[in-house]
Amino acid sequence: GAAMGSTGIGDHGGAPLIVEPSAWSQLEQAEDGPAEGRVFLVGAAGTGRIAGAARVDAADDPRGWSEALEEVGSMVPVGLTCLGACYFGTTEANAASELDVVARCVPKTLDEFYVLFKREGPVGAEARRLDPQTRRFSDAPLKVRVADDEVESETGYLRIQLEQDLDLVYDEKSRRGEALDRALEAAAETIEHGDFEFLRRPRGGQGQPRFFSSSLSDLPGDDAAGTLADPVLLELYARSGGAGERSAPILRYEPTSDTGFESESVSLQLDVLASVPRGARFDEGSRAAVLARLLSQLKRSKGEILARPSERVFRYLHFHPPPLGHTVTLLYPDASPEAEDAMASRRRGLHALLLLPLDRPLLRISNALSFGGPGRFPGKLLSVHESLGGSGVEGGRRSMVSGPYCYFHYMQDRFDDAGWGCAYRSLQTIVSWFVLNDYTRASVPGHREIQETLVGLGDKPSTFVGSKQWIGAIEISFILDSLLGVSSKVLTFNSGEEIPTRAREIARHFETQGTPVMIGGGVLAYTLLGIDYNDQTGECAFLILDPHYTEDEDLGKIGAGAWCGWKRLGDQAAAGGGPFFQRP
């Protein structure tokens, strides 16, 4: 994990060690979690700033630590590296022995290494800085400060892709690993000893590609170039050889009668993301760091390819799960939804390693960054409630939908369902939540598919397909269970006046599940997105998304017409009942 644009370790003197808020949250989760494994710290060399953390099993010897640091370093962007280790609740008595372990185990290839002792809050935390070359720590401990916000504005991103076709020929199943070793070694030889330049293709694919050796800040045109959402894409270009004697390749074909041989081709798509200071030049050191990461991806792909012999395409994908302040890069097979479901145990292990919560999917294939590609719901509005003001409830506590959703309403997609399709649209909004929050790779069903599903389940007669008949809470529960495997709990309200009596249950749903809720049914169905509730006075307001809107996707019109807004007791929109869907 060489740092791009770094000038060395720098002299921080008595400057505090800065921990970004997302990294501090990870450390708090690690402190409350299981004690197994060593917690390592990630950041950019020379900055004295910690951007993330990871928990890895590591033997307390130089080899164990080198392997652990390599594992963590291979996941983060080029430009970040392992900068330290964190110890929790360390007393003065055993701090010396832990510092001795660090000094003995840290590889000398690093320029700097920090040891963070985390006690009660940042005030009780302190750090020591190690020079790996001399194995000596700073004389005085460093203070630890949690940053006010994340640092992003001065950071840019480069993306480098390289596809490798690995041809495997072997005579026994037990020798497939040896064939893979040979193919990986040949690919590594090409990268390691090739004479490469890096070409930058203009944004939008217009114009001729050019060699890239400047900084992101020197690029002409759009200032957004090189953002995480739209990184600058570089391609490896192999320069021609010298002026030596040229010769044509010779192919020799020798047929064999041995039928025990097997052959296969595996496509491996290497994909490196580099985090760089926008003013740093893409120099020889930067290019070497990228090539080293490509070689690392080749090396680390062996285990995953061998573990999944039926898969023929593997890709490195980039993720930026919300709790993390940096991206992570992971290898996945180009798998079907069923095959991906079988990888749940691996994803749980990655969640534990990266100190991610286990209550939501963050590392599914559908979670991967798309880098400027079209959204999953082009032309539709997402999370329209985010621009709303207060509810008017004094001293209330808000419990809201957790995660994005798409606003589905009457007359969308040139389909006239005015007067009968509100519950269908509420269902589509709910399904979009499960899609956008990566609980499923299924598509949002249309009206006809909803009707056909209910007929197939035996809930409706065949004449229901193509009709304009309403559906309600029970039908929506059937659909979600059938299409997504989602269970629900149905709360029934005979009138709007009953709703405050269930306010605690509603708030609890949003705090623990966070899914949208359909209330009502038939011709008056709505989507409930949250509640603002004062448990002392009983005053409450409900955040309602109204599917009866019939105009274009105009956030101003939606807000002005209260098609998404806070509703009080007695409002027609707050009457009814519905299914409270559970996360899978």
What are residue 201's phi and psi, to 5 degrees?
Answer: -90, 135
548 among known catalytic residues: yes
Q: Which residue is catalytic, options 86, 422, 540, 564?
A: 422
Q: Are 55 and 37 in contact (CB under 8 A)?
A: yes
DSSP label at 372?
Answer: S
DSSP class per residue in 71-103: HHHHHSPBTBEEEEEEEES--HHHHHHHHHHHH
DSSP label at 385?
Answer: G
Strands (DSSP E) contained in 252-312 are 262-277
The CA distance from 194 to 199, in Å, is 15
The CA distance from 510 to 403, in Å, is 11
Q: Which residue is catalytic, options 318, 326, 351, 548?
A: 548
The CA distance from 453 to 424, in Å, is 13
Task: Name residue 531's beta-bridge partners.
Answer: 399, 542
Q: Which residue is catalytic, options 271, 417, 532, 546?
A: 546
> For the chain, how big is the Rg over CA atoms in Å?
28
Place of tokens 């928990």: 55
540 among known catalytic residues: no
DSSP helix/strand/coil, 25: helix
Q: Are 290 and 283 in contact (CB under 8 A)?
A: no
For residue 13, give both structure tokens: 């003197």
What are residue 187's phi and psi, to 5 degrees?
Answer: -65, -40
105 among known catalytic residues: no
Closest residue by Cα to residue 163 from 310, 308, 315, 335: 315
Residues with active-site annotation: 422, 546, 548
